[in-house]
A = this chain, B = another copy of it.
Amino acid sequence: MKKDKITIYDISKKLNISAATVSRALNNNPKISEKTRALVAKTATEMNYKQNRLAQALKNGRTNNVGIIVPYINRSFFSSIIRGIEEELNPNGYHVIICQSHEEEENEIQQLNTLLNTQIDGIFMSVSKTTQTTDHIRKALEENTPIVFFDRKLEFPGVSSVVLDDFKAGFIATEHLINEGCNRIAHLSGDINLEIYRNRFEGYKSALKEYNIAYDKNLVIQTSSKIESGIQAVTQLWELENKPDAIFSAGDYAALGAIQELKNRKIKIPEDVCVVGFSNEPFTKYMELPITSIDQTPQMMGKIAAQVFLEQVKGNQTISIEKKVVLAPELFIRESSNRKLLKFK
C-alpha cells in the first residue's frame, strides 16, 4: 500500500556518495564538510525527500513517545491513571500510546514487544493478573527502556513503582465498619495471589485484631472483579448460620453485585448490612444508594509515575534511580455504610 518513498539510498546513489554520509549530512554532523552538507540538502529538497522522524529516532534513540500497558482501559481507576500520566507528560513534549492486556499474560508480552518495536522512550505498566513470567520485562530493561510500575508492580533492582497503601486501605475500610457497629464483617477478597488484594486482606485482618474481633475464615470469599461474583458471594455467605452484618469488598463491581443480591433478599442497607467497596468507580456515587468506597487517587498515581519517569530520563545520567512511592488511600463514606445518616431521616 505504501508509496515508494525517496530514501537516503536514492540520494546516495544520485550523488555517488555513501548512505552514511548522506545520513550524517542530513543530521548536520560536523564531520561532514559544509559543502557536502549543502549539496545533500539541496538534492534532498529536489528529490522531495522527507526525513522520517522515526528513522531519525532510530539514530538518536529518542521518539518522545511513551507507552502505557493496563489490564483494561474501561476501568475508571486505570483511565484516570492514564489521564494523570498524560497531564504530566504532554506539557513535556511526550505523547502517550496505550495498550491493554485484558489480564492475559500472553497479551501483555505481545503489547510490550509492540511498544518496544515502536521505539518508545519509556513504559508505564500495571501487571496483568495472570502474569507468571518476567522475561518480557527483563528484555525491556536489558534494552535500557525505563519502566515505571503503577498499582501492580514487580520487583526489579533499579525499577521504580507508584502504588497505593493497600494494607492501610483495608484497615480503614474495616475500621469504619466496626465504628458503624458491625462485628461480623465479611470480606470479598479478589484474587489473593495478587499483592494488592493480599495487602487489602491483611489490612482487614489487622483491623479485626486491633478491635478484638475474632477472624472467621468462613467470612472471606475470593471474588473476581465482576458483578456476578458479588451476587454469588452473598448467596454463599447467607447460607452460613451466623450471617454477616457488613461486607468489605476489595472491588466496586463485586460490591455492586452484593448490594443487588442483598436487595433481592429484602435485606436493608445500611440498617441490617453495611457495604464498602474499593476503587471509587464513578457509578458508586451515581447509585440511588451511593456506595462507600476507597479512593485510590489514580490521577495522582499517574502524575507521580510520570514525574518519576521524567526524573529518570532527565539528562544523560547512567546511574539508575529507584523510587518506591506509596500513596495514602481515602475513604469516601456514603449511604451504603453510613448508619448515622439514618438518624436524620
Chain A interface (Cβ < 8 Å from any Cβ of B): 1-3, 9, 12, 18-20, 52-55, 57-58, 61, 63, 65, 67, 72-74, 76, 79-80, 82, 86, 90, 95-100, 107, 110-111, 114-115, 117-119, 121, 143-146, 227, 256, 263, 282-283, 286-289, 312-313, 316
Contact = CB atoms under 8 A, between A and B. Distances in A.
Given A54-B119, A117-B63, A98 B95 contact: no
A256 B282 CA distance: 12
Contact of A111 (B95, B282, B288, B316): B95
A240 to B, nearest CB: 27
A107 B94 CA distance: 12
A120 to B, nearest CB: 8
A322 to B, nearest CB: 15
Given A1-B316, A288-B288, A95 B114 contact: yes
Contacts of A74: 73-74, 76, 79-80
A117 B1 contact: no
B99 A54 contact: no
Contacts of A18: 18-20
B61 A118 contact: no
Contacts of A115: 97
A152 B231 CA distance: 38
Contact of A144 (B3, B90, B107): B3
Residue of A54, A121, A287, A316 with most chain B CB atoms under a 10 A cut-off = A54
A97 B117 contact: no
A286 B277 CA distance: 15
A263 B90 CA distance: 41
A115 B82 CA distance: 18
A90 to B, nearest CB: 8
A1 B53 contact: no
Given A52-B58, A65-B114, 20 more contacts: A1-B144, A2-B61, A19-B19, A19-B20, A52-B117, A54-B117, A54-B119, A55-B58, A57-B117, A65-B118, A73-B79, A74-B74, A74-B79, A74-B80, A86-B100, A97-B97, A263-B288, A283-B286, A286-B287, A287-B287
A251 to B, nearest CB: 14
Contacts of A80: 74
A3 B143 contact: yes
Nearest to A61: B2
